[in-house]
Amino acid sequence: MSKIYSLSIKNFRGIKEFNHVFGLENFIVLIGRGNSGKTTILQAINLVLSPTWNVGLSDLDFYDTDVTQPIEIEATITDFPKELLTDSKYGLYIRKIKDGQIIDDFLEEDDSSLVDALSIRFRVDSSLEPKWHVFCGRDESEPKEITANDRAKFNVFMVADYADNQFSFGRYSPLSALMKLSSAEGESVAQRLLEIVRKIHELTAENGSFNEVEGILETLKTDSSQLGLSLEQLKTAIEFKDNSISGNSIALHNGNIPYRRSGKGSKRLLSIAIQKQLTRTGGIVLIDELEQGLEPDRITNITRYLKSGLSGQIFVTTHSSYTLVEASYNNLFLMRERASNLISFTEDFQAVLRTQPEAFFAKKIICCEGKTEQGFVRGIDDYLKTTGRGSLSGFGVFPIDSKGGDKFIKEAKTFKNLGYDVYVVVDNDVEAIRDKLLSLDELSIPYTKYEIGGCLESQIIKDVPWNCIKKLVNCNLERFVDDVKRKLDVSDLDSSQESEFRDKFARLAKEKSLYKDIPGGEFLAEQVLPELTALGNDVVLKKNINTLLDWIKN
């Protein structure tokens, strides 16, 4: 129960206007660069379905701090508690979803496969007084205010580092929601907690755990073990805070230590385990920066765990490639800065998501034909840093190794079709691939243009100054074994033999694969880039490198 079908945001923090339909997807992973708006989307969901009135907004929460334009957040919900559909509640505001469209004009005898939906609107203007209403598109229906108690029935919870109250049985905590869901008699959480608190004075330190929640604890122990978290001593006990006793005083302990004092990673794991329980019977869980405080193996494990057995819905944001590898293409949604909607993925992207996950967090992507090209681009990154010109990361650029052949063409088109800026670093020594490069022109994807039959190494050897050739030959790289160095002796060469020597060097570089790995490409960049100023502007190597540098910085 309780799933967000669609979401609309206006004038909230960094989002001017945003609309997206999530459909019936249960596990939603939001990816994108920092400050693109991923966390804002989670916070918007948390606001529109908040079970409290005190949401603590200020002028800074308005887009561009313009309080003359009200914040409006609308969420259309499916699978909500049926008790909200009575006429005295919000039954007169029911909407239907048909063929991916929200409709308001329908007949009771319409197709029973239509999905019931309720739309909730959160609005706050310059008065900073928040208002929540249920609305529909029928002309005769004025929006109806929805109470905090009714919003609490959607069971929306956010995993955050500051939310230590998730480990206590406060009024709107996820543990209280679990207690209610596990109660066969349907007792109210407030009454149950009141009875427990009244028993406090009858309990001693030896039997301080509460039998009423033992079933919940056993489930949490099992779920936590699946996340690699051992909680054999998990129990409930009274934690005295400020000499007061309330539902918040009944808290989870690991042995005699309140769980809220555990490390960040452990707290996030247990918080996720608690809220995953909610999604088995209904509820919406929001997890910002899933990977915080977690090791790579735990990130992989928790992503697989969150995907499984969902009846409710989970939203997560992440910058972790481990999450992308484990998630399916339909779980992923890309957010760009100031975008008005999310970019969805199709099955065509699944292979690239598994093989090049890091690239999806960049703004711009360099598809490198192989390891030499990737190493050379990494060398460009080092050059930019050492000369104070920035870095690839600073420009939002990520180089990937397309692993030879013509795979780079498909990958370049894949990223281009998702809206990424793409550049291809490729050799020009294979005729079959040369013909396929024309398809990149059709998509306006720029690529290196070496002389026909040339590659990165041969173009470097042909174009760089003679003193750079000597550095390349006399290096101490292990790949330059003695027989190669004997064939490339430059000690007695005069200027008349230079052209012949360069041709010989280029042939040996190809035959012996002297630079066919990332360190080899990095070495070439280290030697070559400082020599660019000595080359004429019409030199092929310089034109290609300058074109790439301009693309990176623009």
Q: Give the span between the Cα atoms of 417 and 400, in whole angstroms.
A: 17
Specify the residue for token string 């959607």: 154
Q: How far is CA 552 from CA 105, 181, 232, 381, in A?
A: 52, 54, 53, 10
pLDDT at 201: 42
Q: What share of the chain is helix, strand, coil (3-state, %, to 5)?
A: 45, 20, 40
Least confident of 26-30, 258-262, 305-309, 544-548: 258-262
pLDDT at 97: 92
pLDDT per residue as tens digits for the range 510-540: 888 888 889 999 999 999 999 999 999 999 9
| Structural contact between residues 7 and 41, judged by C-beta atoms closer than 8 angstroms | yes
Q: Give the span between the Cα atoms of 524 and 378, in whole angstroms.
A: 11
Least confident of 201-215, 424-438, 467-481: 201-215
| 523 closest CA partner among 371, 425, 383, 376 | 376
Q: Are strands 421-425 and 364-368 parallel, antiparallel or unpaired?
A: parallel
Q: Are strands 131-135 and 15-21 parallel, antiparallel or unpaired?
A: unpaired
pLDDT at 483: 57
For the record, the structure tokens of 110 come out as 């319409």
For the record, the structure tokens of 18 come out as 């945003």
Domains and CATH numbers, the chain: 1-155+282-357 (3.40.50.300), 165-280 (no CATH), 362-554 (no CATH)
Average pLDDT over residues 393-397: 94
Residue type, 128: L
**Chain centroid offset of residue 276 CA:** 19
CA angle 221, 226, 228 (to 5 degrees): 90
Is the pTM higher than 0.85? The answer reads: no
Q: Give the span between the Cα atoms of 473 and 467, in whole angstroms.
A: 10
Residue 184 in this model has a pLDDT that exceeds 50: no
Backbone angles phi, psi at 527, to 5 degrees: -85, -35
Which of the listed ranges 6-20, 289-303, 433-447 does the model predict with the highest average pLDDT? 6-20
Q: Give the span between the Cα atoms of 178 and 473, in whole angstroms.
A: 70
Residue 412 in this model has a pLDDT that exceeds 80: yes
| Number of other CB atoms surrounding residue 47 within 10 Å | 21
Average pLDDT, the chain: 84
Q: Can you give the length of the chain in residues? A: 554
For the record, the structure tokens of 203 come out as 């309990």
pLDDT per residue as tens digits for the range 322-381: 999 999 999 999 999 889 999 999 898 888 899 889 999 999 999 999 999 999 999 999
Q: Give the span between the Cα atoms of 390 and 377, in whole angstroms.
A: 14
Q: Give the span between the Cα atoms of 138 and 93, in whole angstroms.
A: 8
pLDDT per residue as tens digits for the range 140-155: 789 999 999 999 889 8
pLDDT at 518: 93
For the record, the structure tokens of 430 come out as 């294979």
| 379 closest CA partner among 482, 522, 165 | 522
Average pLDDT over residues 490-519: 82
| 46 closest CA partner among 158, 145, 130 | 158
pLDDT per residue as tens digits for the range 17-53: 999 999 989 999 999 988 899 999 999 999 999 988 8
